[in-house]
Amino acid sequence: MKVVNDIVYDMGNDLKLDTYAPTGDSKAVLLLIHGGGWFRGDKEKENFLAEKFVENGFFVVAPNYRLAPAHLYPSALTDIFNVYAWVKNNADLKNKLVFALGASAGGNLAIELALQKGIPAASWSGIIDLYDWVTKHPEVKAVMNKEQHFDEHESREIDQDGSNDQFYKWFILNYVRNDLNLLKAATPLTRITANSGPVFLANSLHELVPISGVLKLQQGLATVGVESCVKLIAGTIHGEGYWEKTLNLTLAFFNEQLGE
């Protein structure tokens, strides 16, 4: 495996990405998008998963993107679309199929790529139900969770164990600085079309991210005839914490899209 760190893809915002290349030819490009509620996280936390996908023949691109509250929606999404454009304009990669995978906020951004660019994507605990959830839970007080030592651990090791409606509401509203009109615009469910790409969706049944978003997205995709696959996992583990239960399923989904 060949790793190249800190390739600048956006000079104006000093945004960088890492690439992980398999030995020999790759079968597809995977955009591996870190999570962190759109307000924290870093591409370097994706080393472990990147290596797993390289072992299975993927060329992995792991980007950083701008974070809230300094940069509100749609800044992160614009950055991820710029990463996609960087791949499509790369002479060595532009003829490869492109897939996306992310967990939590990264799952949201991966889903947006599927919905708007028509590529296959996988989301582990992707944040999908935004405006509807917030407006239907006025009794929930938005509270930052300061007990999690996010920066000290790899993504798969972070303890986000169980539901936490107050924290969920906090980081959703932080993404839009409490602007409900902007939150409505940030909700990916509004962008489902017949041209959207197929998606694989995983979520624990009793975790930080409610399953309502998964169910709404699958129903919306089914209505317009777009394929989806859902894995609902018993328990409370969030995102990359359940990687052992979803890695092979995600690989199988991507390989099916490759015709393998």
> Which pLDDT does position 159 carry in this prediction?
47
Number of domains present in the structure of the chain: 1
pLDDT, position 199: 98
101 φ/ψ angles, rounded to the nearest 5 degrees: -145, 135
What pLDDT score does 86 carry? 97
Q: What is the pLDDT of residue 161?
A: 62
Per the structure, the complete domain to which residue 236 belongs is given by 2-257
pLDDT score, position 153? 45
**Do residues 166 and 143 touch, judged by C-beta distance below 8 A?**
yes
SS (H, E, C) 193-243: CCCCCCEEEEEECCCCCCCHHHHHHHHHHHHCCCCEEEEEECCCCCHHHHH
Q: How much is the pLDDT for 146? A: 60
CATH number at residue 61: 3.40.50.1820
* Residue 94: predicted pLDDT: 85
Q: What is the pLDDT of residue 38?
A: 97
In this structure, is the dihedral angle defined by the CA atoms of residues 202, 250, 72 and 170, taken in order, positive or negative?
positive
What pairs with residue 59 in β-bridges? 29
**Under-70 pLDDT residues of the chain:** 146-161
